Amino acid sequence: MVTGAVNPSAVGTYPLLYTATDSFGQSASVQRTVRVEDSQPPVVTLLGERVMAIRQYDAFTDPGAQATDICDGDLPVTVSGQVSTGSVGLYRLDYAAVDRQGNRGAAQRTILVNPRVHCADTNGNGRIDLEELLRVIQLFRAGQYSIAAGAATEDGYQPGEGSHDGPPHDADYAPADWKISVMELMRLIQLYHQGGYVPCPDGEDLFCGGPR
Ligand SMILES: [Ca+2]
Ligand SMILES: [Ca+2]
């Protein structure tokens, strides 16, 4: 006869008592101790993409992560590392969770901060050239613009109605409403006249005029 029971899903020490009794009513017993341990680290699952790409000065919000442990259930996740959105480069965030037995689970996310090239600057030379300005004037004159499917155009946009499934044009910033206003067009003309632009956090459109 066995007295006691082991719960394999709960960490702990379980005594089991084995007793035998003979036909004269005399009994003897022996005890066994079973220890249930947790040797499995928590599983840390990223929310959002494992590799994320943003442009310089874009706001970055960490989607976070969650951790589950086979014994301890949901656990808090600590994050280390940071993303400096002002500096182009590769960043890593480390997520970790530790269960009550000290087993550690971890996950990583990579964030790529890309250079901020103005959408109008389709040849990427750091200047708004005349033909690039004319292109935005075309979007302005259409009254509205949209995303061109399958990057069918050089800047990925098209005049007129259509999909808004993507980031709006950089020239469309105050507000970003899929319409280029006169004010917004004036701003681009200003950048055109300044002969160049650089990304800058203080610029109304996150750009400042001037040579690179
Ligand atoms: Ca250009
Ligand atoms: Ca606008």
Q: What pLDDT score does 211 carry?
A: 76
Q: What pLDDT score does 151 carry?
A: 67
**CA 153 to ligand 1 centroid distance, Å:** 15
In DSSP terms, 13 is beta-bridged to 35
**Which numeric CATH code is attached to 43-114?**
2.60.40.10
Centre a 10 Å sphere on the Cβ of residue 166 and count the other Cβ atoms it contains: 11
111-139 per-position pLDDT tens digit: 999 999 999 999 999 999 999 999 999 99
**CA 110 to ligand 1 centroid distance, Å:** 30
* 150 has pLDDT over 80: no
Model-wide pTM > 0.75: no
**CA 162 to ligand 1 centroid distance, Å:** 26
Q: For residue 19, give Cα distances in angstroms to 16, 30, 37.
A: 10, 7, 26
Ligand nearest to the CA of 192: 1
The full set of domain ranges for the chain reads: 2-36, 43-114, 130-209
44-96 per-position pLDDT tens digit: 999 999 999 999 999 999 999 999 998 889 999 999 999 999 999 999 999 99
